Structure 1
Amino acid sequence: MLLNSAANDFVLLVPICLIFIGVFSTILWLQHRHIHSLFWLAIGAVSAGAGLLGQSLVPAEALFKWAFWLAFIYLATFIALAQAIALRFHTQISWFFCLVILVLNQIGIFYFSFIDEQISVRYAINGLSIFLIFSHILPALYHAKTRHQFDQWLKRCAVLMMACLLFREILLIYLVFNVSPTFNYSQSYIGFLTQFIGLFFQLLFAALLIGTGIQDTLIALDKERNFDDLTGILNRRSFFEKASHYLPGDSKHSNVLFMCDIDYFKQVNDQYGHAAGDQVLKFFADQLSSLLGSNDLFARIGGEEFVCILYDVSLPEALETIENIRHILSTEVVSPEIPVLVTASFGVVQLNQCNVLEDALKHADQLMYQAKLAGRDNIQHRLIK
């Protein structure tokens, strides 16, 4: 069943909306050029809008003259969209595969436009090419890691779109073999519906890709706000925010706090340079992070000074853990280029004896200084007056 003139005019809304999505995505990409998926989304939306606009304006009897270029535009649209989604998951489309499909598609479109003119066959060929272009990235998407919920929804929508493309292709093949090869798909209600489904997915992918970019920015800001740039562990501000939950008033568990300071750090900087000093700090933070539990709170609070709260441990258990850390640190060199053993002085305090974090830190700092005076590379938990 073909569209009436009023509905045909309404079809212009679809390409206009797609072009608007493309322009909006371009503006966003110009402001956030590191989000490369927005660039390809813009190309895909604009080319889809331009193709549908041209198809809507060209008279049906002259459509075969433009079919070759319209098919090229539609295929380029889905190549761009597939690339946008692939880049989001740090992978790439196969440009060679896309080129082969593009060439074969254009040969088929040319044949059924100028040699044996059959409009529905053209749509079937183009639909099959689009399906193959989009489906070849699915294995990579399946194995790609997701960073947050927007990524998960993007994967699901990609699979849903594949299902819609497959259904559309089966429908087109049915029309070719059971209705008429000359059936005017573009002017039918079926064509009208699939255009709006295409618009829906373009809007959906645009929203999700923009959403992933926004979420990435928020995560980056949170990381910058709460984590130390050099070591990747919590910074001072974040530690003080979280540590209150480990104090006796907020926690029913027995928690232990220790402070530690890397021994002879200045000598490392003087002998090997500040870049080596940075490597020592990262090595120290990585070693401790690997030995601590997931509920422990570990932070760099300044220079070569670190603080940690061990969750739900008694003082003897905490001392055993810290002794294990001290032993492992004192037996492994940083790297072949920096052949130094990293030792540290530790001051340990049981938090159930302190209701105020500042008091616990002050006590631990005094114990840590006592460990320095006792020869470094040792643990102190009783203050000697």
Structure 2
Amino acid sequence: MLDAKSAQAAALFTAKDATRPDHADEDHPPVPRARIGVLVANLGTPDGYDYWSMRRYLNEFLSDKRVIDYSPLIWQPLLQGVILTKRPFSSGAAYKSIWNEDAGESPLMTITRSQTEKLRAALGKRYGDDVMVRFCMRYGNPSTLKTVREMVAEGCQKILFFPLYPQYAGATVATANDQFFRALMKEKWQPAARTAAPYFDRPSYIDALAQSVERTYGALGTPPRMLVCSYHGVPQRYLLEGDPYHCQCQKTTRLLRERLGWDDNRITTTFQSRFGPEEWLQPYTVEEVARLAERGVDDIAVIAPAFSADCIETLEEINEEIRESFEEAGGKRFTYIPCLNDDDAHIAALEEVIVENLGGWI
């Protein structure tokens, strides 16, 4: 009986289209047809909203030193103690409120799968079956390690890794890339590898964002007085340590405003999802929407340009917690503009990134 490593090695030679190389001896094992892989990646999702599923997911996420960079000697006892004892309950309740019960999965999983299927169809029209398109998650399933293993076993000798984050941050793009390279470290026959750069200022992405705003505003009739661009936050010191995330977020907002043809007083940049006691990028969305309402700006729209797919931070945090903060401060109309998700303009922008990065490979 084969052990796990031997079984994995054997899988390399059992792909359905594997053949013996030309001029090889008759006892040479079959080798799968060489293909190019495109692996898109998102943050991740728990397998369920029950306590143990949430605990496993949160443990993996909050143990990532790109996310929480405190000393493990201090952080891990706190994490394994009070945090992972209590937080799975509150996080599980939040996930339950948005869960896709029909599919038995989180909205992020549903949307990322749909994005992948549309990209597979679009790239199939360009390249036929020479390019394989898969998706993975940095935390949870399908894991990066397992997906890379499967792609190599099916003949991918070149893989383009594409984290679906418009802006770069160490806690998002870098940790996704880290995990991809860890997966490559386990391969006996490593594929050639590329990573796609963030696309925060790409005209096709900005145009897709603008179209989503225009559609929403058109359906509302009377346009909101303020568009709040809410980005996921990071600690303020990350900016001071050289992380470009804050600057890239500000540029995305500026380019969106210019594309819409608006003045500065109709759009603002904020940051959400603060965690822990230290200072994060400001202004905080939950506080800023309340300030707007208190100043009489009682009709706003909120968009989340840092997220490629709707998830817990948008569907629960923005559309429930942040909405509540605005309304409790006197706000009258709160409109959430969904993420670009699998919108055709978004898929076209992602396809553009992929095609550009496959240059020279196909």
Task: Check whether TM > 0.5.
Answer: no
Q: Name the one with the larger helix percent.
A: 1
Q: Name the one with the larger strand percent.
A: 2
* TM tier, smaller: under 0.3
Greater length-normalized contact order (CA 8 Å, ≥ 6 residues apart): 2
Structure with max Cα Rg: 1
